[in-house]
Structure 1
Amino acid sequence: MEEQTTDLKDYLVAFRRRKKQILTATGILAVISVLVALLLPPVYRSSATILIEEQEIPVDMVRSTITSYADQRIQVISQHVMTRANMMQIVEKYNLYPRQRKRETTEEILDRMRKDIKLNMVSADVRDRRSGANTVATIAFTLGYDSETAAGAQKVVNELTTLYLNQNLKTRQQKTSETSTFLSEESARLSEHISEIEAKLAEFKEKNAGRLPELAGLNMQMRDRTDSEVMEVDRQLNVLDERKIYLEGQLSQLKPNSPMTSASGERILDSDERLKSLQAQYVSLSGIYSADHPDVIKMRREIDALKKETGGDGDMQEQAKQLTRMRSDLAMMREKYSDNHPDVVKLKKALAALEESHKKTLATSSDAPKFRKPENPAYISMQTQLESTNSELKTLRTKRADLKAKMASYESRLEQAPQVEREYLDLSRDHENSIKRYQEFKAKLMEAEVAQQMEKDSKGERFSLIDPAQLPEKANSPNRPSILLIGMVLSLGGGFAYAGVLEGMDSSIKSSKVLAGLLNAPLLSVIPFMENSEDRSKKTKLKTSLVIGAIVGIALILLSIHFLWQPLDVLWYMIMRKLDVWLG
C-alpha cells in the first residue's frame, strides 16, 4: 500500500464535504462570543488627579520639618486611608458589591475593593535640592476606582480624594507638632542640665577659690611677690637684730640715773649709791653703837626708805634686764633652729633658772618691786630705741609668719591646680557643649514652630485637586469590540478545527485516489455522485439556513457596533465625511 499525500485539492474537497459542520460550529461559537461581549457587566472607572504643590514660602526662608519624598508620604497616607474601618465605611455608605457581600467574607470584599482602587504616580525630571543632581520626582498622582456603575465610581473616588487630602493635612500637622514638642522637651531638658552644671560650677569655684586654672598665672606672680617680700623682711630682721645687739650693748654701759652735782661742783650720790654707802656706814656704826642707838635707828630707817625707793634689792633690776635680753635671744634662736637644738635647750634652761631666781627675789622682798624711773637722758634715749627696735622686730616676725603662710597657700594652690584644672575643664566642657546643643535646639525649635504655623496656614507643601472625579460616560472595560473580533476569529478557527477533528476520526473511503492507494491497483472507472430529490431538498434547506444565519449575524454585528462602539448614524456620518475628504 502506497502512502497517500494530501494536497490543496484534497483540503478543498474536505471543506466542501464538512462545510455544514464548519458553519454550524462557527455559528455556535460566534453566537457565544456575541453573548459574552454583550452580557459581560460593564466596569466604569472614575479618576481624580492630585497635584503635589511646593510650599509657597521659599525654602531658604522657612524650611519644612517634613523631609521625606512625596511618593513615600503618599504610600504612608495610603496605609492610613485604606484601613479596614475606612474601607468598610465606604462599602456600606455606597452599597458596594451587593451580590458579593452575600456570599463572600469581609476580608474578601476588602481585597476586592483594594484591587479596584487604582493609585498611579505622575513623575517628572527635576533637580534635587539636596544633592543638586537631576532625578525623577513625583509631582502628582491619580486616584481611580472601578465600579459596575458610573455614579458609584465617581462617588468612591470623591470619597477617597477627600480622605487623602484630609489625611495629608493631618499627617503634616501631626509631624510638625511632634517635631516641635520633641524639640521643646529636649530644650527644656538641656536647660535643666545647664542649670545643674552651672550650680556645680558655682559650687566648684566656691570650693576651689584661688585654685582655678585662670588664676594659675596670678598665683605664680603672687607667690614670687610674696617670696620677695619674705626676703625683704628677712633682710630687715637681720638689720634690726644687729641694731638690737648694738643698742643692748650701749644700754648695758649706761646707768639709768645720771650723776648729779651740787652748786659747789661736788658729785651728789644717787639712791643706789647712797643705799650702798649707808649700808657700809650702818655696818660700821652698828659695830660702834647698839641697835637702840638713835643714830643706828635713824640710819636703819633711812636704809629702809632707800630700799623701798630702789626696790629693796640692787640686783632685781639687773635680773629683769637679763630676763628681757634672754627672752629676746630665745625668740631669735627659735626662728633659726628647732626647739630640740642644743643651743635652744641650753638657753631655755638658763632662762628658766633666772626666772626662778627672780621669782624668789620677788617673794623674799617685803614690798613689790618698785623700779625707779630712769633719769639719765642717754639711757632713756637708748632704751626707747631698743623698745622701738623690739617692737619693729615683733611686727616683722609677725609679718614674716603671715607671708610664709600666704606663700604656703599659693604653693598649695599651684600644686592642686592640675587636678582642679582637670575637673574644672570637664565641667566647663560639659557646660559649653550643653549650651551649644541648647542653642542648636532652640534654633531648630524656632524653625519648627514657624514650619508648624506654616502648615496650619496651609502655606507649606500640600495636595491640590486639579482634576476632580468625573462621571464616566462609557465603560472602561470590557472592550466589547475587541472581545467580539477575537470571538469571531476564534469561532472561525473553532469551526475548521471541529471539521478537522471529524475528518481525522472518519476512516471511510472518500475518493478514488484513496481507493486506488488501498487496492494498490488502477481503477477501471469512477461513477460520479448523482443527486436525487432528497439531496436537492437538503441543499436548499442548507442554503436557506445559511442566508438566515448570515442575516442574523450581520444584524448582531450591527447591533454590537451600535451599542458597543459607535452609534450607526454617527459611524455613517464619519464614513461619509472621510469619503468627502478623500474624493476632494
Structure 2
Amino acid sequence: MEAQEMNLGDLKAILLRRRWALLLPAVGVFLLAVVIAFVLPAIYRSSATILIEEQEIPVDLVQTTVSSYAQQRLQGINQRIMSTSRLLEIIKSLKLYPELQGKENPDEIAAIMRKDIALDFIQADVVDPKTGRASMATIAFSLSYNGKDPTQTQKVASVLSSLFLEENLKVREKTVREASSFLEVEANNVKNDMAEIDRKIAQYKEEHINELPELLQVNMQSLQNTEMNSDRLSEQMRGLREREGYLQSQLVSIPQSSGQMQKNRLEELQVKLDNLKTRFSDQYPDVIEVKSEIAKIEKENKGKGSGAQPGVMADNPAYINLAAQLASTRSEISSLAKQITANEGKIAHYRKLVEATPRVEEFYRTLISERDNLQHKYSELRQKHMQAQVAQGLEKNQQGERFSLIEPPLLPEKPSKPNRLAIILIGLVLGLGAGVGTAAMLEFSDQSIRTPEALSRLTSSLVLVTIPEIGGKEKSSFLKRESKG
C-alpha cells in the first residue's frame, strides 16, 4: 500500500481492523511472562559484611611481616575456601542441593555452589599517612550466598563468614611464622658462613703472619734499621781492613826475636865503624866506642849460639804486640763478616716481606670485606628475626590487622530474585510491542484499497459512487437469495 498521510480516523480503522493481530500476540507474551514470573523458584540471599581493621599498635612501634594488600589476601583466602574439597565439606555438613545428589558428580555440584557465592569489595578513599596521597583502598567486603531455603541460606552465609575469619587468622599466623623461621634459618646460615670466613682469616694470618698489612710499617722500619746497620757494619769493616793493612806493614819491619835485633845492630855498628875509620884513626874515641859495642854484641852472640833459627818462637816484645793486635783485628774482621752476612739475610727477608705485603693485603682485604658484609647481613637478619618474632606475638594476640564481622548474616524475609513484578512488566511491554509489530507488519503488507481517496490516487479519476461493505445479517440474506435463484 502506498505511503499516505494518516489521521485519527485512519488509526482507529486500522486498530479495529487489526484488533486480533494486536491482541493475540500481546496477550500471549504477557501470559507467558506471568507464567515465567510465578514458575521460577524463589531465591533468597543472606549477606555478611566484614570490616578490615588496621592493627591496634602503631606501625612505627611494631610492624607486621604480612605485607600483602587486603584485596590480594582476600583473593587468596577466597581461592582456598572455594576449593572443591572445602565446598563439598560444607555441602555434606549442611545437606545442600539434595535434588542434585546422585544426578551430578561432586565437582559439578561444587561448581554450582561456587556460582551461588558472591564476594564484593567495599572501597573508599583513604589518605596514606606516610605519603599524604589519597587512594582507593578496600576497607571491607560483603560475602553473600543465594539459596532456595531462607534458613539454610543464612546457615551457609554464617559458615562462609566464619571460614573467612578463621582462614585470615591462619594465613596471617602462618605468614609470620614462616617469615620468622626463614629469617632464623638464613641468620644461622650466614653465621656459619662467618665462622668459615673467620677460620680462613685465621689460617691465612697464620700462614702470612709477618706479611699482614698491619705489619707493613714495622717491616719497613725494620728494613730501614737493618740497612742502616749494614752501612755501619761496612764502615767498621773498612776501618778494620785499614788497620789490618797497617799492622801487617808494621809487622814486616820488626824482627821476630832479639837475636835478630842484635844482628841488625851489629851490622849497623859495623857500617858505622867503617865510616869512622875512613875519617879517623883507631884511637879516636868514637871508633873505640863503636869497637867496644861490637865486641860486646859478638860476645853475647857467642854465648847464645849461632843466632835466631827458622821456626824459633818470636821473643821480640814489639813484634809480639803487633802480631797480637793483627790477630785481634783479623778476628774482629771475621766476626764482622759474619754479622754482615746475617744482616744481608735480614735485609733480604724484610724486603721479601715488604714486597709480599701488597699481594697478601689484597686477598686479606677481600676476606675482611667478605666478613664485614656477612656481619652486616647477619645483623640485619637478626634484627628482622626479632621483628618477626614480635610480629608473631602481635598476630597470635590478634592485635594486627584483622577481619571483624560488623553485619552478621540475617534470615532473609523475602526472596531476592526473581523480581516477579519486573518480569510481568517486561512481559507486558514485550507483549504490546509484539502486538503492535504484528499489526503493523500485516497492515503494511496488505495491498487492498479501502478508501475513495486511495482509489482516486491510484486511477487518477474521481470516484462517483461509494458502495458500503455488506456484512453481518445483510450479507447472510444476500448469500441465501443468490443460492436459491
User: TM-score category by the smaller chain?
Assistant: 0.7 to 0.9
Cα root mean square deviation, aligned: 3.9
Partner residue, 1:484: 424
CA contact (8 A) 1:516 1:523 kept: no
Cα displacement (A) at 1:20: 6.0
Unaligned residue ranges in structure 1 (runs of 5+): 258-272, 282-312, 319-373, 536-584
Q: Which runs of 5+ in 2 are unaligned?
A: 259-298, 477-485
Alignment of 1:442-457 (within 5 A): 442-457=382-397
Q: Separation in 2 of the partners of 1:414 and 1:274?
A: 73
SS in 2 for 1:470: coil
1:433 corresponds to = 373
Rounded to whole Å, the distance in 2 between the matches of 1:380 and 1:90 is 127
Output the CA distance in 1 between the equivalents of 2:389 and 2:302.
111
Report what 1:293 is aligned to: none
Which residue does the alignment assign to 1:417? 357
Deviation at 1:502, TM superposition (A): 6.4
Matches within 5 A, 1:125-524: 125-128=125-128, 132-243=132-243, 253=254, 277=303, 315=311, 317=313, 392-497=332-437, 499=439, 522=463, 524=465
* Structure 1 contact 4–517 (Cα < 8 Å) conserved: no
Distance 1:153 1:385 in 2: 128
**Count of residues in correspondence between the two structures:** 434
Tell me the CA shift for residue 409 of structure 1.
0.7
SS in 2 for 1:72: helix
| 1:245–1:530 distance in 2 versus 1, CA, 3 Å | closer
CA gap of 1:9–1:153, structure 2 versus 1, over 3 A, is: same
TM-score by length of 1: 0.64
CA distance in 1, matches of 2:147, 2:301: 151
Paired with 2:24 and 2:193, the residues of 1 have a C-alpha distance of 94
When residues 133 and 21 of structure 1 are mapped into structure 2, their CA distance, relative to the original with a 3 A threshold, is closer
CA distance in 2, matches of 1:404, 1:508: 140
SS in structure 1 at match of 2:180: helix
CA distance in 1, matches of 2:441, 2:96: 47
Q: Secondary structure at the match of 1:469?
A: coil
CA contact (8 A) 2:227 2:347 kept: yes
Query: Could you tell me whether the CA contact under 8 Å between 2:37 and 2:423 is conserved in 1?
Result: yes
Structure 1 CA distance for aligned equivalents of residues 41 and 231 of structure 2: 117
What one-letter code is carried by the residue in structure 1 that aligns with 2:165? L
Judge conservation of contact 2:120–2:143 (CA < 8 Å) in 1: yes
**TM-aligned CA deviation for residue 228 of structure 1:** 1.0
> Conserved in 1, the CA contact under 8 Å of 2:455 and 2:463?
no
Query: What is the CA–CA distance in structure 2 between the aligned matches of 1:410 and 1:274, rounded to whole Å?
Result: 67
Contact 1:220 1:410 in 2 (8 A): yes
What is the rounded CA distance, in whole Å, between the counterparts of 2:116 and 2:411 in structure 1?
17
For residues 3 and 46 of structure 2, the distance between their equivalents in structure 1, rounded to whole angstroms, comes to 64
Structure 2 residue matching 1:58: 3-state secondary structure: coil
Deviation at 1:489, TM superposition (A): 3.1
* Contact map agreement 1:3 1:517 (CA 8 A) in 2: no
Aligned equivalents of 2:17, 2:59: Cα separation in 1: 83
Q: Is the 8 A contact 2:257 2:313 kept in 1?
A: no
Q: Kindly, what percent of the aligned residue pairs are identical?
A: 38
Q: Measured at CA, do residues 223 and 275 of structure 1 come closer, stay the same or move farther in structure 2, by a change above 3 Å?
A: farther
Distance 1:429 1:379, change over 3 A: same
**1:91 aligns to what?**
91
Measured in 1, the distance between the counterparts of 2:302 and 2:78 equals 133
Aligned equivalents of 2:462 and 2:192: distance in 1? 120
1:527–1:401 CA distance, 2 compared to 1 (3 A): closer
Cα distance change, pair 275–8 in 1 and its aligned pair in 2 (3 A)? farther
Change (3 A) 1:401 1:25: closer
Q: Secondary structure at the match of 2:430?
A: helix
Letter in 2 for 1:221: Q
Cα deviations by residue, 1:388-443 (Å, 9 ceiling, x for unpaired): 65665454444333322211111011122222122212222212222222222222
| In structure 2, C-alpha distance between the alignment counterparts of 1:104 and 1:37, rounded to whole Å | 27
C-alpha deviation, 1:120, in angstroms: 0.9
Shift of 1:107: 3.6
Task: Return the letter of the residue paired with 1:469.
Answer: P
Show CA shifts across 1:86-145 (max 9, x none): 111122222323334454443433332222211111111223466553211111111111
1:152-172 per-residue CA deviation (whole Å, 9 max, x = no partner) reads 221111111122122212222
User: Within 1, Cα distance between the matches of 2:302 and 2:88?
Assistant: 141
Q: Residues of 1 paired with 2:158 and 2:472: CA distance?
A: 72
> Aligned pair in 2 of structure 1 residues 244, 86: CA closer, same or farther (>3 Å)?
same
* Cα distance in 2 for residues equivalent to 1:390 and 1:171: 95
SS at match of 1:57: coil
Q: Aligned with 1:47: secondary structure?
A: strand
Going from structure 1 to structure 2, the CA distance change for 1:316 and 1:34 (only over 3 Å counts) comes to farther
8 Å CA contact 1:126, 1:135 repeated in 2:
yes
The answer to whether the 8 Å contact 1:41/1:148 transfers is yes
Aligned position for 2:115:
115
CA pair 56-379 structure 1, distance change in 2 beyond 3 A: farther
The CA distance in 1 between the partners of 2:105 and 2:330, in whole Å, is: 118
What SS does structure 2 have at the residue aligned with 1:34?
Answer: helix
Measure the CA separation in 1 of the matches of 2:434 and 2:242. Answer: 147
CA distance in structure 2 between the partners assigned to 1:4 and 1:210 by the alignment: 121
| Structure 2 Cα separation of the partners of residues 6 and 453 of structure 1 | 85
Report the Cα distance in structure 1 between the residues aligned to 2:378 and 2:176, rounded to whole angstroms. 20
Paired with 1:314 and 1:54, the residues of 2 have a C-alpha distance of 121
Contact 2:233 2:340 in 1 (8 A): yes
The 2-side partners of 1:399 and 1:243 are apart by 19
Aligned mates of 1:447, 1:2 — CA distance in 2: 89
